[in-house]
Amino acid sequence: MDFRHTSGQKDEPEINLVPLIDVMLVIIIFLMLTTTFNKTAGLAIALPTADASGAAATASEEIVVAVTASGDILVNGRSASDKSVDAIASALAGARPAKGAEPVVVINADAQAAHQNVINVMQAAQHAGLSHVTFATQQEPRR
């Protein structure tokens, strides 16, 4: 018996890409579902802990102020020109939307931040005419 191909053509091996595409899509979906996004990416802020049983603010607009342990103050991700109350107030006024409801000032202060810097941000919010101020905290880990 002769099992050789008699047509004279050699069969080319085919590479099936469908299983490879299926595996890649599963990996992409897995990465999308397990990735977390932070509002303050790139800043090392350790928030103080508190009981989060209170009602959350329902305002549509927020002005996020970050106070780092080293004393840097960022308003919506932009650094304030200096740490004075007037400079922070002008940065808050610039971040305020032109129309709509009054925004909530969310202070993300590091647990090791100087108390005076947080007070300066609160006074600056008052000078900018922003009366809704809240603090970001994290829940205390359960034991």
Q: Which two tokens stand for residue 28?
A: 């992409």
pLDDT tens figures, 82-136: 888 899 998 888 888 877 778 899 999 888 888 898 999 999 999 988 888 988 8
pLDDT of 114 reads: 87
Q: Provide the 3-class DSSP secondary structure of residue 49.
A: strand
- More confident site: 101 or 4: 101
pTM above 0.75, yes or no: no
- More confident site: 66 or 9: 66
CA distances (Å), origin 69, targets 109, 114, 118, 128: 8, 7, 11, 24
pLDDT confidence band for 51 (50 / 70 / 90): low
Q: Which domains does the chain have, with CATH numbers?
A: 62-135 (3.30.420)
* Closest by Cα among 126, 14, 23, 109 to 70: 109
pLDDT tens figures, 7-37: 666 777 888 899 999 999 999 999 988 887 6
What is the Cα–Cα distance from 61 to 143, expressed in whole angstroms? Answer: 35
Question: What residues does 104 pair with on adjacent strands?
Answer: 62
Q: Give the dihedral sign, CA 54/92/120/42.
A: positive
What is the Cα–Cα distance from 81 to 23, expressed in whole angstroms? Answer: 49
Instruction: Look at phi and psi of residue 129 and say left if phi exceeds 0, alpha if psi is from -120 to 50, else beta.
Output: left
Q: Which two tokens stand for residue 103?
A: 């925004």
Quick one: average pLDDT of 1-10?
Answer: 62
DSSP 8-state assignment for residue 114: -
DSSP 8-state assignment for residue 108: E
